[in-house]
Amino acid sequence: MDSNTPRMAILLALVLFTMPLAGCVSDGRDGVNGEAGTQGSQGPPGVDGEDGLPGVNGTNGTNGTNGTNGTNGTNGTNGAPGPWGFTTLVIAFDESPGINCERGGTGLHIGVDDNSDGELTVEEFDQTTYMCNGLNGANGTTTTSVLSAVERLSKSSGCPAGGRVMLYGMDNGDNGGTPANGLLEVGEIDDQTTYCSAQRVGLIGDTVSGENGSRPSSYQGMKLIVGDTMFYSADDGIHGPELWTYDLTTGETWMVADIRTGENGSYPGYWLGIVHENIIYFDAWTDDYGRELWAHNTVSGSTWMVANLHMDNSYPAGSNPGDDIEIMYGDILYFSAFTPQYATELWAYDTITHMTWLVKDIHRGSSSNPGWYMHLIYDDVLYFTARDMGNVHDLWAHNQSNATTWKVASFGIEPNTHPGQYMYHLVGDTLYFDAYVGGNNGRELMAYNFQNDTAWLVADLAPGYASSNPGMHVSYVMDDQIIFDTAEGYAWVHDTSNGTTWSIAGFSGGTLGENFTEVAIGDTFFFQANDGNTGSELWAYNKVNETVWMVADIMEGYGGSGPGENMVVVINDILYFDAATHESGRELWAHDPYDGSTWLVVDISKGNKSQTGPDLDSNPGNRFWLVHGGQLFFDAHDELHGTELWNMWFEHTVSYQA
């Protein structure tokens, strides 16, 4: 054997070992798996895989059942009344041919009655419109005129506070009318504008919470308006009766001044309340000075005592200014006052110089009680009743220009002559009044003429020593007529133009005019009377046809409704007054003489007057009432607020119909 053979075999084995096995040598059969090894420790987390596709939305679930409704919340308090509205007035006039209407026509001035006086003045014109005449027709025939008419509306027409309807149309005889007759007939009306008003009543403010209320009061004269602010007395339960104010624009109410510190109050304006320029003058009580003259400046807001006339007294009672008389004469306030030195005499306060002085000691050593029965200004002279050493009330005068004071006339020698005790009226140059004449006459109607200085007995209505007591309850002037009552319940009229006097009615109930402030609307005079069958009710007298009638039997039966015991006012030719019925108690009523309707305006205090317990009447105007700017302000009582300040205003609507 060749010696190189082993070497070749080894070399060949090495070559085969280094060559790939696939494709050269077949794999062998797999061997049996070996036993599983022990589990190793957990490796690190792998990388997150990509997000899968969004799944399909599921179907909506069924709605649940509704929950139970909650209980209603408590009603909020009523808002303050809005500002009052005003009446719209219209004046129709003939328009001559010219720039506004080439061939003439009818003009209309339209405007709001800003001062609520029932008259539309030039300053109140808001709009002027014209309805002009057309061209003349051919062949001499005239064109049809355009006519207008204004009619008054009342409660029976759906306008409880009154209204107006303006009618327009052609005078063409449409619908059965007569053409060219100058009258706008029903069938000729083409279009109309209706202005309608209704009363609205609301509580101004609950000054004192609870059943008592603030009890607003005016006493003898504390119901005053300065600009847009009203002044009156009220008690908030802390300071007692003091001076308060109500802003007519903002609706705010506040106490002006706490004059008498503590809960008793100063009772401002108990005797005197008067405005001059922007200052209110009134009497008020303090523990240090008693009742004296005070003032409040409505611009600066300051309040001060004007004069301390009743001085040097261990218990100051004050001078009681204005107890008998208060009157502004130019820039000077004249008033009665009591002092230990002069008793009750006439005093004066100059609002410019701020000086206070005694005008005259008429009754030395005693009181003259100036102006107790009569006081007035005539021909720039102040006239007033006073008594001197003779202890008889006579007519006196004071001339401010020369500071003289003198006795003008005497009407009797009896101490109870008392001229003007029940009535006095100035008609032209003549003063009419009652007086105890004496001699063969009692208290009768007298007259005094300032021009010729003569006095005379007008009528002896109770002949002999008896007295007719003219004007004891009723006294009113309508043009040239004086209407008054006498004893035994008779109503009389005296015509000042011809001197005649006659009786118009007699009332057996004997309460003619008692507790009633007489008023007139047009030619109709309203008063309270009892005919013995219906009790005290509202009556009327027309001076043109001289008829007397009962306006309405508000409370049927003998008791009567007692109309106007608190207040009687006229607004836009409608009469407003308090009256009582069994159904509503004493509440606010109204009467429209245009259609004769009488109705309850509002029942503020719900309840039955015949029930026992607290008074369920609202008693409107019992302590306070005032008319201003077309609104009626008054005190009234209800069970929730007590006695507070209320008001009645008017809501206006305008409608058009073609």
The string of pLDDT tens digits covering residues 608-631 is 444 444 447 999 999 999 999 889
With contact defined as beta carbons under 8 Å apart, do 506 and 491 qualify?
yes
Residue 256 lies in a domain: yes
Give Cβ neighbours of residue 237 (< 8 Å, ≥ 6 apart). Answer: 208, 212, 214
CA–CA gap between residue 351 and residue 275 (Å, rounded): 11
The pLDDT assigned to 98 comes to 81
Mean pLDDT of 175-179: 89
The pLDDT assigned to 26 comes to 42
Question: Which of these three, 352, 378, 410, is where a domain ends?
Answer: 410
- Residue 475 and residue 389 share a domain: no
CA–CA gap between residue 526 and residue 518 (Å, rounded): 6
Mean pLDDT of 76-88: 53
Strands 229-235 and 241-247: antiparallel
Mean pLDDT of 497-526: 90
Give per-residue pLDDT as tens, 186-206: 888 889 899 999 999 999 988
- Residue 240 and residue 294 share a domain: yes
Residue 605 lies in a domain: no
Alpha-helical runs (H) found in 19-117: none
- Residue 392 and residue 310 share a domain: no
With contact defined as beta carbons under 8 Å apart, do 77 and 643 qualify?
no
Buried b (16+ CB within 10 A) or exposed e, 136-166: eeeeeeeebbbbbeeeebbbebebbbbbbbb
Residue 374 lies in a domain: yes
- Residue 451 and residue 396 share a domain: no
Higher pLDDT, 394 or 18: 394
The pLDDT assigned to 614 comes to 43
Residue 534 lies in a domain: no
The pLDDT assigned to 48 comes to 64
Instruction: Give backbone dihedrals phi and psi of 337, rounded to 5 degrees, phi first.
Output: -155, 150
With contact defined as beta carbons under 8 Å apart, do 577 and 537 qualify?
no
Higher pLDDT, 130 or 328: 328
The pLDDT assigned to 115 comes to 66
Which pLDDT band holds residue 30 (cuts at 50, 70, 90)?
A: low
For the chain, the first-to-last Cα distance in angstroms comes to 151
Give per-residue pLDDT as tens, 377-413: 999 999 999 999 888 999 999 999 999 999 999 998 8
- Residue 399 and residue 443 share a domain: no
In 103-252, where do the E strands start and end? 105-112, 127-132, 146-153, 163-170, 189-205, 224-226, 229-235, 241-247
Which pLDDT band holds residue 82 (cuts at 50, 70, 90)?
A: very low
- Residue 358 and residue 302 share a domain: no
Which pLDDT band holds residue 559 (cuts at 50, 70, 90)?
A: confident
CA–CA gap between residue 514 and residue 492 (Å, rounded): 15
Question: Which of these three, 261, 295, 319, is where a domain ends?
Answer: 319
pTM of the model: 0.76
Which pLDDT band holds residue 488 (cuts at 50, 70, 90)?
A: confident
The pLDDT assigned to 9 comes to 44
Residue 501 lies in a domain: no
Residue ranges making up the domain that contains 345:
322-410
What residue has token string 């507790």?
515
- Residue 426 and residue 356 share a domain: no
Percent of the chain with pLDDT over 90: 59
The pLDDT assigned to 316 comes to 75
Strands 568-571 and 547-552: unpaired
Stated as kind and residue range, the H or E segment containing 15 is: helix 5-18
Residue 303 reports pLDDT greater than 70 = yes
Higher pLDDT, 631 or 106: 631
- Residue 386 and residue 289 share a domain: no
| Chain CA centroid to CA 373, Å | 31
Residue 138 reports pLDDT greater than 60 = no
- Residue 371 and residue 458 share a domain: no
Number of residues assigned to the chain: 658
The pLDDT assigned to 39 comes to 66
- Residue 307 and residue 239 share a domain: yes
CA–CA gap between residue 486 and residue 484 (Å, rounded): 7
Residue 191 lies in a domain: no
- Residue 383 and residue 287 share a domain: no
CA–CA gap between residue 403 and residue 350 (Å, rounded): 13
The pLDDT assigned to 87 comes to 63
Residue 269 reports pLDDT greater than 90 = yes
Count structural domains, the chain. 4
Residue 304 lies in a domain: yes
Residue 110 lies in a domain: yes
- Residue 306 and residue 346 share a domain: no
Question: Which of these three, 95, 111, 133, is where a domain ends?
Answer: 133
3-state DSSP call for residue 78? coil
Mean pLDDT of 264-279: 95
Q: What does the mean pLDDT of the chain come to?
A: 85
Percent of the chain with pLDDT over 70: 82
The pLDDT assigned to 84 comes to 45
Give Cβ neighbours of residue 444 (< 8 Å, ≥ 6 apart). Answer: 434, 435, 437, 457, 458, 459, 460, 461, 462, 467, 468, 470
CA–CA gap between residue 179 and residue 89 (Å, rounded): 29
The residues with which 485 forms a beta bridge, in sequence order, are 491
Amino acid letter for position 405: T
CA–CA gap between residue 262 and residue 454 (Å, rounded): 55
The pLDDT assigned to 86 comes to 59
With contact defined as beta carbons under 8 Å apart, do 117 and 106 qualify?
no
Give per-residue pLDDT as tens, 433-462: 999 988 788 999 999 999 999 999 999 999
Joined together, the tokens standing for residue 452 give: 């010729």
177 DSSP 8-state letter: -
